[in-house]
């Protein structure tokens, strides 16, 4: 089984609309999920969480209920790499909690299988580190610090937490995101302008992956 997650409904719609047949609609910790088939894969979509705590909570609940082999997290992110532009697609190869102050921060690796499949179905993906924290980065100096420290492509509020729970449970994971802001002072305005235009792109790529490959 493959589970596709997103913070908001728009971020999983590319997969949700391809669930044919649709086998089940349900609720898990007050979040809506749908289960169906894409290609030769049994797929669950679920959304409705923000920040590291909620992300970790729902990820563990997903694993306990569905015992998936793969979790793919889709959605939007802010650019850290200065070469990235609005609308670019990024895929995390390693994940860090940039706001964790408890000692050495060890990266968590993404699934090589998922990275290979994503590269096969979509040629314009930037692969590299992603960082997560419980704050929206909207400051150029902080953006530059995160790039200098981690060489990160992008920042979000969830991927690193999901990756940690997946690692502890032996579930393969990757996060596929679209850049909707530049993580500088105008980030909130950019997000409002770009989210609806671009947010479904990662899940549309994942639906193509699921249709082409059996995971």
- At 160 the pLDDT is 97
What pLDDT does residue 52 have? 96
Q: How would DSSP label each residue in 139-169?
A: -HHHHHHHHHHH--SEEESSHHHHHHHHHHH
**148 belongs to the catalytic site:** no
Query: Cα–Cα distance between 45 and 202 in angstroms, integer?
Result: 13
The beta strand positions in the chain, using DSSP E, are 2-6, 22-28, 31-38, 41-47, 70-79, 89-97, 108-109, 125-132, 154-156, 172-181
- pLDDT (0 to 100) of residue 41: 98
* Domains of the chain as residue ranges with CATH: 2-212 (3.40.50.1580)
Q: Which listed residue (81, 97, 172, 181) is catalytic?
A: 181
pLDDT number for residue 47: 98
CA distance 212 to 215: 10
- At residue 103, the pLDDT reads 67
The Cα 56–Cα 62 span in angstroms is: 10
pLDDT truncated to tens, each residue of the chain (215 aa)? 999 999 999 999 999 999 999 999 999 999 999 999 999 999 999 999 999 999 999 999 999 999 999 999 999 999 999 999 999 999 999 999 999 887 677 899 999 999 999 999 999 999 999 999 999 999 999 999 999 999 999 999 999 999 999 999 999 999 999 999 999 999 999 999 999 999 999 999 999 999 999 99
3-class secondary structure, 84: coil
Q: What is the pTM of this model?
A: 0.96
The C-alpha angle 16, 76, 155, rounded to 5 degrees, equals 140
Catalytic residue among 11, 81, 97, 172: 11
Known catalytic residue at 181:
yes
């Amino acid at each position: 089984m493959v589970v596709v997650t997103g913070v908001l409904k728009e971020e999983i719609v590319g997969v949700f609309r391809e669930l044919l047949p649709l086998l089940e609609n349900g609720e898990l910790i007050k979040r809506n999920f749908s289960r169906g088939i894409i290609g030769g894969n049994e797929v669950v979509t679920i959304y409705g969480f923000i920040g590291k705590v909620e992300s970790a909570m729902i990820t563990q609940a997903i694993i306990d209920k569905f015992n998936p082999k793969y979790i793919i997290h889709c959605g939007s992110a802010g650019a850290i790499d200065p070469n990235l532009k609005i609308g670019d697609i990024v895929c995390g190869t390693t994940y860090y909690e940039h706001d964790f102050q408890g000692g050495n921060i060890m990266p968590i690796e993404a699934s090589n299988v998922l990275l290979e499949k994503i590269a096969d179905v979509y040629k314009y993906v930037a692969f590299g580190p992603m960082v997560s924290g419980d704050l929206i980065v909207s400051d150029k100096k902080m953006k530059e610090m995160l790039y200098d420290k981690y060489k990160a492509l992008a920042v979000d509020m969830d991927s690193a937490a999901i990756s940690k729970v997946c690692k502890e449970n032996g579930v393969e994971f990757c996060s596929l995101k679209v850049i909707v802001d530049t993580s500088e002072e105008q980030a909130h305005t950019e997000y409002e302008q770009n989210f609806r235009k671009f947010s479904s792109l990662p899940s549309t790529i994942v639906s193509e992956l699921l249709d082409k490959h059996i995971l």
